[in-house]
Amino acid sequence: MSEKPTTHFGFRDVPVAEKQKLVGQVFTSVARSYDLMNDLMSFGVHRLWKRHFVAVSGIRRGDRVLDLAGGTGDIAALIKPVVGEEGDVVVGDINAAMLNVGRDRLTNRGQVSGLRWAQMNAEVLPFPDNTFDAVTMAFGLRNVTDKDKALADICRVLKPGGRALVLEFSKVQSELFGKLYDFHSFQVLPKLGQLFAGDADSYQYLAESIRKHPDQDTLKSMMEQAGFGRVEVRNLSNGIVAIHRAYKL
């Protein structure tokens, strides 16, 4: 009998069919503490990354935008004022707990109009071809089981000329800085997870998942293979994160 195909879950190899469930358990566990932990992990810089991401997105008033892996609502809250009353934002996430956190937070702020929330898998998007002017995905692609399939489906649901925008952890450009970053990721981060979220293992996985994610050039090639053109890469914070912006041909 042939062995079951495997994929990585952090530094572990697991059956492909199990990864989605394992990732789901991680994000269900961390949903309530997710934003606090982002602040602690990045010293608050993640908020600047996200603002810059939206600022350079090219999203305009009246656009229809799909924000994938957008559960906690950070990106949607920044996009909605840009698209205005004429536009709308669909927030999609595979994890119901993350969606609930984001929807409750934005509702409490009075941000309701023009926002829709839906549980979905980025690999099989429940929309017709040529639906959106832009698709954003911040800190979510590395957790997708089949990234090539997700990128191809993002391309499918975009209108011709539409933009795909991915903000994701990437490869640090400085060797010395990379060593400091590794120490923070593998020695400090799990301890913060245990202290503030009561969950060291999930944050160990998150650190490992960053190292397994394709680097800047590899992700650029993957987006080109998925059917995108004019793929542009912008490093932030010495490559800790990178913005990939691409256009549907």
Domain holding 97, by residue range, is 6-174+203-248
Evaluate if residue 1 carries a pLDDT over 70: no
Give dist(CA 231, CA 165) in Å, integer.
10
* Span 81-116, pLDDT tens digits: 999 999 999 999 999 999 999 999 999 999 989 999
Residue 66 lies in a domain: yes
Would residue 191 count as lying in a domain? no
181 domain residue, yes or no: no
Residue 68 lies in a domain: yes
CATH number at residue 41: 3.40.50.150
**Helix/strand/coil for 130:** coil
- Domain membership flag for residue 15: yes
Based on its alpha-carbon atoms, the radius of gyration of the chain, rounded to whole angstroms, reads 17
CA triple 179-211-22, angle to 5 deg: 140
Residue 142 near residue 69, CB atoms below 8 Å = no
**The total number of structural domains that make up the chain:** 1
Single pTM value for the model: 0.91
- Tokens encoding 29: 């566990």
Report the amino acid identity of residue 209.
Answer: S
27-54 pLDDT, tens digit per residue, is 888 787 777 777 877 888 999 999 999 9
Decide if 187 is inside a domain. Answer: no
Annotated binding site: 72, 93, 121-122
Q: Is residue 192 part of a domain?
A: no
Q: Are strands 12-15 and 6-9 parallel, antiparallel or unpaired?
A: antiparallel
Kindly report the average pLDDT of the chain as a whole number.
92
As given in the structure block, the two tokens for residue 54 are 């939206």
Residues annotated within the binding site for S-adenosyl-L-methionine are: 72, 93, 121-122
The answer to whether residue 184 is domain-embedded is no
Phi and psi angles of residue 114, each rounded to the nearest 5 degrees, phi first: 80, 10
